[in-house]
Amino acid sequence: MLLHDDVIEEYRDFATYAAGDSPCFEEWALGVTEDEEVLAWLGTLPAVKRQPNLVFAAARWHGAPAPGPYAGLRQVLREREPAVRATVMARATQTNEVGRLATLAPVLALVEGPLALVEVGASAGLCLLPDHYDYAWPPAGELRGSGGPLLTARVTGELPVPTSHPEVAWRAGVDLNPLDVTDPDAMAWLETLVWPEQDERRERLRAAVEIARQEPPRVRTGDLLDHVEGLVEEASPRGTPVVFHSAVIAYLEEPDRERFHDLMTGLVAAGRCRWISNEGRRVLPRVTGGRDVSSGRFVTALDGVPVGWSHGHGHAIDWL
């Protein structure tokens, strides 16, 4: 997903991203690209607030039926515009998709433990608990024994299947607006962010929230650029610091993406941490390195070097 390109291209890209996963969102995104009135309205929003996930979730929050035809979305955008705008401006797409751990766990296994995890853009901190899930990577193998829900990612390539769950000695995150797993309104918003047809994801989210309520991860409030280095310093006595993020850096403006890349490569070069990134194919161009990444795939990388192309919600990974 592209957050700062021309809005038509942004929604076309999102339609490609949604194809096969949400016919509703694919139809809605393509409908927006041909609707001059809606495009004009989107143009009145700040660029970072035009993103399809956020606009569609806000419309659903205010009654747009989903799954449902584009006409239902358009009607809510027109008839409840002030309410939708207020929700768009007040909230963010803090999806916190734990399914992505199925693509991140094999990368965590490449790092010597015990691990001290630092997640930037942590939302409610659900992805800070990789040791609380079981995993299946058909046809490569599986990892069970945690007692937690099963996360699955279909594999192509020679995936190094982990032989044990990550040993997590310490965990913390940072987010501009951390979500409280005990807050019903915040958790209802997280559920609204789950795509319409994806009941399995909704059930997985509910299970993840219940796990997190038993052991709430610490998530600091603040800008990731201001807090990463301090969190790495705090993590270092506890284990191998691992800074990780998934579908987060796209929300930074271009100069801040470059600052973040420089910050992380500097920390890695100094031996102060390892870095696992999982972002859209155009978000960190120096990580992608000009490689031809399939549309709709994320670039999963360790220390700035790609190791796989991943489905954005963790359903699959093409190991390099």
CA atoms of 201 and 195, how far apart (whole Å): 8
pLDDT at 1 over 60: no
Tokens 């997903």 found at: 1
d(CA 94, CA 278): 15
pLDDT at 4 over 50: no
Range of lowest pLDDT (191-205, 245-259, 280-294):
280-294
Give CA separation, 65 vs 27, 193, 221, 235, in Å. Answer: 13, 14, 34, 45
For residue 292, pLDDT beyond 80: no
Name which of 96, 95, 35 is nearest 69 in CA terms: 35
278/249 Cα distance (integer angstroms): 9
pLDDT at 3 over 60: no
Tens of pLDDT, residue by residue over 7-58, are: 999 899 899 889 888 999 999 999 999 999 999 999 999 988 999 999 999 9
Instruction: Tell me which residue has tokens 């610091």.
Output: 241
Question: What is the residue-averaged pLDDT of the chain?
Answer: 93
Which pLDDT band holds residue 294 (cuts at 50, 70, 90)?
A: low
- The tens digit of pLDDT for each residue in 153-163 reads 999 999 999 99
CATH topology of domain 98-319: Rossmann fold (3.40.50)
Separation of alpha carbons 148 and 21, rounded Å: 25
Delimit the CATH 3.40.50 region(s) of the chain: 98-319
Residue 198 has pLDDT above 50, yes or no: yes
Could you give the CA distance from residue 256 to residue 294 in angstroms, rounded to a whole number? Answer: 25
Q: Tokens 């994801």 correspond to what residue?
A: 201
Distances (CA, A) of 212 to 96, 182, 226, 244: 12, 9, 25, 18
| pLDDT tops 70 at residue 86 | yes
Of the listed ranges 6-10, 278-282, 288-292, the least confidently predicted one is: 288-292
